Amino acid sequence: MRVLVTGGAGFIGSHVVDALLHEGHEVTVVDDLSTGRRDHLNPAARFYQASVTDFDGLAKVFANERPEFVSHHAAQKSVRDSMANPSFDALVNVVGSVNVFELSMRHGCERVVFASTSAVYSEPVDLPMNESHPARAQSGYGTSKLAAEGYLRFYGDVYGTRHVVFRYGNIYGPRQDPKGEAGVVAIFAKQKLEGQHPTIYGDGAKTRDYVFVSDVVSANLAAMESVNLSEVMNLGRGIQVTDYEIFNLVRRAVGSDIQPVYADKRPGEADRISLDAARAAEVLKWRPTVAPEEGIQRTVDYFKDAMAP
């Protein structure tokens, strides 16, 4: 199958590209390399350096490559940046997504997979949250992703675009950017390996639902074959893990006794998150298989290798 992956030089997207190529698909990557990295690009994929916000440039890619399946992972992913510059966040995550959906419709793509986020939900009414939980995002990032979901639903209702929306928990693993603010495992790992004292925002009790990147990739591959109707699905383990627990697991994997530094909680962040992934289990037969202890050790090992002289 001919597959187009936006954000295919990024953390999750590059792993999806590798898996698609391994399965024998013909893969094209679109990435503007603003946060993606050239060394994450699989040389077996065709690459276009372009932004999803450039409709004309993106249209040329669709015309040249004629994708049958689109995996849309390109995004502005920083909650902090979305609060400081919501216009840019909306440009990438809403307008850029609409460009992808519009061209997918025009070119008759069989299916679109959209990488959304658990940040679309409000503070939990109950946990774990399923897909019918109230969606009232507390950040620009979550708001823009929810808006893009609405546009994709519109394309499904009006034009028949089949689609899968994945609401990701906190994804972590090799290749995650340790310079951003979303990849806490990567940030803690790199800082501890460098002998720095990582910062925990708040008291360390904030929880997230952590999913290793290979488990997310398996769901993306399953979505190519198993879904005939449009779906919205959570991808999570259904387990709350605190910031301090993550800090401690990374510290153990590094072999360090470094203590954290505490700072004020940042605006736009929910206190507790865990996701009910029963829908993905039912439709895709998907189950996460990598526990945080194993995934964090694999992530730390990756950064040790990357930082070796």
For the range 21-26, what are the long-range contacts, defined as Cβ-Cβ under 8 Å and sequence gap of 24 or more?
Answer: 21/45, 23/221, 25/1, 26/1, 26/2
Pairing of strands 241-242, 207-208: antiparallel
The span from the CA of 29 to the CA of 14, in Å, is: 9
Residue-level pLDDT at 26: 98
Give every residue of the chain whose pLDDT is below 50, as ranges: none
Q: Taking a C-beta distance cutoff of 8 angstroms, is the pair 5, 27 a contact? A: yes
pTM confidence score: 0.95
Instruction: Return the domain boundaries, the chain.
Output: 2-170+212-235, 172-208+239-274+289-307
Residue-level pLDDT at 60: 98
Kindly indicate whether the domain formed by 172-208+239-274+289-307 is annotated with CATH number 1.10.357.10.
Answer: no
Cβ burial of 39 (10 Å; 0-12, 13-18, 19+) is exposed
Residue among 48, 121, 141, 168 flagged as catalytic: 141
Q: pLDDT tens digit string along 189-212?
A: 999 999 999 999 999 999 999 999
Residue-level pLDDT at 182: 64
Q: Taking a C-beta distance cutoff of 8 angstroms, is the pair 229, 162 a contact? A: yes
Q: pLDDT tens digit string along 144-175?
A: 999 999 999 999 999 999 999 999 999 999 99
Give the angle subtended at the CA of 285 by the CAs of 283 and 290, to the nearest 5°: 130
Residue-level pLDDT at 80: 87
Residue-level pLDDT at 227: 63
Q: HEC string of the chain?
A: CEEEEECCCCHHHHHHHHHHHHCCCEEEEECCCCCCCHHHCCCCCEEECCCCCCHHHHHHHHHHHCCCEEEECCCCCCHHHHHHCHHHHHHHHHHHHHHHHHHHHHCCCCEEEEEEEHHHCCCCCCCCECCCCCCCCCCHHHHHHHHHHHHHHHHHHHHCCCEEEEEECEEECCCCCCCCCCCHHHHHHHHHHCCCCCEEECCCCCEECEEEHHHHHHHHHHHHHHCCCCEEEEECCCCCEEHHHHHHHHHHHHCCCCCCEEECCCCCCCCCCCECCHHHHHHHCCCCCCCHHHHHHHHHHHHHHHHCC
Residue-level pLDDT at 274: 97
The answer to whether residue 141 is catalytic is yes
In the CATH hierarchy, which fold is given to the domain comprising 2-170+212-235?
Rossmann fold (3.40.50)
Q: Taking a C-beta distance cutoff of 8 angstroms, is the pair 34, 98 a contact? A: no
Helix axes of 96-106 and 140-159: crossing angle, nearest 10 degrees: 20
